[in-house]
Amino acid sequence: MNDRKMRFKAVLLPQKSKLFIDFLHALQKVDPVATFRLNDAAHDHIFIAANIKLHSMMGWVCFHKSAFASYRIESMAGNEIGFDIDIDSMLIALKIVEPSSFVTLKLVKRGGGTFLSVDISVQVGARCPPGLRSS
């Protein structure tokens, strides 16, 4: 995919993080690598589809856009982005998630490649994590 205009950033609300992690654990039992396809939130729902190559299976999870503090996706392919993910690595990155954690997933460009970045921030009192403050 041409990544000149490929952007993705989603901040999953704390109460929905466990659902995402449970989805990854279910996929991990079948295959350690999956192809994720993300779509835009034009219809109030965001689908995360995972294709398990080894067993020709497909799993998916559907989040209502209210599960996200923010969600933005942009691509030259109809605002849909696909990428391979090592599920074990993702679960290692998410193992410190607590019930009060915001999980931010975003694409970043480094060294000529595009990578999925995971940022975990814990909500303290009524404070918002960095990048979510309203202006």
Q: Please, which pLDDT band fits residue 124 given cuts at 50, 70 and 90?
A: low
- What string of H, E and C letters represents the secondary structure of the chain? CCHHHCEEEEEECHHHHHHHHHHHHHHHCCCCEEEEEECCCCCCEEEEEEEECCCCEEEEEEEEHHHEEEEEEECCCCCCEEEEEEHHHHHHHHCCCCCCEEEEEEEEEECCEEEEEEEEEECCCCCCCCCCCCC
| CATH of the domain spanning 3-122 | 3.10.150.10
Q: Percentage of the chain with pLDDT > 90?
A: 7
Region 104-115: mean pLDDT is: 89
pTM of the model as a whole: 0.74
At 127 the pLDDT is 52
Q: Is the pLDDT of residue 111 over 70?
A: yes
Residue-range domain boundaries for the chain: 3-122
